[in-house]
Structure 1
Amino acid sequence: MRDLNQPARATGPGVVADGPAGSATVLVIDPAGEASHDEIPATWRELTDRMRVVWLRVPAAPEWKSTVDRVLSMHRDDPRTVLDVVTSGPIAAEVIDLVRHHEDLVRSVLLVDPEVEVDEPFAQVVVRTHDAPDDRIPAPLPLGHPDVVFGVVKALNELS
């Protein structure tokens, strides 16, 4: 398991976003705190021509749960907006619990290397790292990793 408690991860913005407002939105709740330079990771930028990506950096947003509630509630009055949530590893169970309070707003929760079993109709695992001697990156796989982007796009296409 990777150490996600490095002090440098807490610097930078708590939330960064890119893509057209009012379009389908992917809320990425990142326990590792990528996107520390005021923009989403490069691997996700190609998606922003057709969807909005909101990246919440948990280490830089100590009140991340209330931030998630606020972001989801902002979309309550816009029935056109499709919301999907992506998260990983140690906070998967907490995110699923938060989404239960907003099930009418969120189409899916897409998980990467969750530390819990997933038994919710709106949640699915899109990438799972297998601990093997040849793994270069320990679980949870960073949400900016190309395999994660591929898994998320594949899941979103299947949901459409």
Structure 2
Amino acid sequence: MRDFDEPARATGPGVVADGPAGSPTILVIDPAGEAVHDEIPATWRELTDRMRIVWLRVPAAPGWQSTVDTVLTRHQDETQPVLDVVSSGPIAADVIDLVRRHEDLVRSVLLVDPEVDVDEPFARVVARSHATPDDRVPAPLPLGHPDVVFSVVEALNELS
């Protein structure tokens, strides 16, 4: 498993967003803290013409659980109810617990390399890294990885 306690990950904004307000929303809860330069990772940007991406950087948001509660509660007031959550690795169980409290607002939880078994009707694993000698990216796969974006888009298309 990768170490997410690097000091550089804790700098920068706790939340970054892009895409039209009122559009279907993907809330990415990132334990690795990508998006350090005040914009979502480049691999996700082409999605922002048709959906809103809200990227929560856990290392830069120490109270990330309350931030998630706030984002989900704000979404309740919007006219577009479609909200999907993406997360990974060591915080998958916490994310599932948070979504359980807002299950009426969230269509799905899409997980990458979760460290727990997933047994909720609203949650599913969309990508896993492969522990092979030629695998250059240790688990969990970064949420900005192109394979993750592809798997999330594929899962969202299946849900539509």
**TM-score normalised by structure 2 residue count:** 0.99
Q: Distance in 2 between matches of 1:51 and 1:2?
A: 30
> Quick check: 1:49 aligned with 2:49?
yes
Deviates more, 1:77-86 or 1:149-158: 77-86
The letter of the residue matching 1:74 is R
Cα shift at 1:130:
1.7
Shift of residue 78, structure 1, vs aligned partner: 2.5
Runs of at least 5 residues in structure 1 that lack an aligned partner in the other structure: none
Matches within 5 A, 1:132-151: 132-151=132-151
* Conserved? CA contact 2:22–2:79, under 8 Å: no
Q: Which amino acid aligns with 1:132?
A: T
The CA deviation string for residues 63-111 of structure 1, in whole angstroms up to 9 with x for no partner, is 0000000000001122423100000000000000000000000000000
Give the RMSD, CA atoms, in angstroms: 0.6
Match of 2:124 in 1: 124
**Corresponding position of 1:8:** 8
Match of 2:92 in 1: 92
Distance in 2, Cα, partners of 1:81 & 1:40:
22
Residues matched between the structures, number = 160
Q: Write out the 4+ residue segments of structure 1 that deviate beyond 6 Å after TM superposition.
A: none
**More moved, 74-83 vs 36-45:** 74-83
What's the counterpart of residue 71 of structure 1? Answer: 71
Secondary structure of 1:43's match? helix
Matches within 5 A, 1:107-122: 107-122=107-122
Unmatched segments (≥5 aa) in structure 2: none
Does residue 60 of structure 2 align to residue 60 of structure 1? Answer: yes
Tell me whether 1:28 sits opposite 2:25 in the alignment: no
CA distance in 1, matches of 2:132, 2:65: 33
User: How far did residue 134 of structure 1 move?
Assistant: 1.1
Q: Once the two structures are superposed, what CA deviation does each residue of 1:14-50 show, in whole Å capped at 9, x if it has no partner? A: 0000000000000000000000000000000000000
Q: Give the TM-score taking structure 1 as reference length.
A: 0.99
Q: CA deviation at 1:133?
A: 1.1
Q: Distance in 2 between matches of 1:78 and 1:5?
A: 35
Separation in structure 2 between the aligned mates of residue 79 and residue 125 of structure 1, nearest angstrom: 28
Letter in 1 for 2:53: V
- Name the CA distance, whole Å, in 1 between partners of 2:130 and 2:145: 15
